[in-house]
Amino acid sequence: MRRMAALILGLVALALAAGCGSLPDTHHRPGTGHEVATVAPAPGDPHAQITIAGGKVTPPSGWLEVKRGQTVTLTVTSDVADELHVHGFDLGQELQPGKPAVISFKADMTGVFEVETHESELVLIQLAVT
């Protein structure tokens, strides 16, 4: 009976972990929460300014919602060398310590796309294109 209970508990824990996918990292790593991470965008130009310092993302990782066809601009300043990557659009930008890196692109695909750093594996923002 105990063995069966332990097996069921283990399966439930596995199912919960599998259902979350990569969310455990998102919730347990510094700077990877789900708060809004945008600044007031200029009309027609969604823009996010993000700073990485001491392994923490400011503002905390969140969503940037844009309409398909809009030009998105991300400005990222990091305290360490890394690489910025926009999944789905396969865009990258080198991050040099203390120097703002700017990446602009036309959001010509719909979906949700993760923007992250490669070396530190920090999720910077989730780009939702509708």
pLDDT at 46: 87
pLDDT at 24 over 70: no
**In this structure, what token pair is assigned to residue 7?**
């097996």
Average the pLDDT over 107-119 and give the result: 95
**In this structure, what token pair is assigned to residue 37?**
């991470």
Average the pLDDT over 105-114 and give the result: 95
Per-residue model confidence as pLDDT tens digits over 49-64: 999 999 999 999 999 9
pLDDT band at 68 (very low <50, low <70, confident <90, very high): very high
The answer to whether residues 61 and 32 touch, using CB atoms and an 8 Å cutoff, is yes
pLDDT at 6 over 70: no
What's the rounded Cα separation, in Å, for the pair 89 and 107? 8
34 φψ region: left (φ > 0), alpha (ψ -120 to 50), beta (else): alpha
**Taking the CA of residue 15 as centre, how many other CA atoms within 13 Å lie in the half-sphere pointing to its CB?**
6
pLDDT at 51: 96
Average the pLDDT over 43-54 and give the result: 85
Higher pLDDT, 35 or 122: 122
Average the pLDDT over 72-90 and give the result: 96
What's the rounded Cα separation, in Å, for the pair 5 and 78? 48
pTM, two decimals, is 0.66
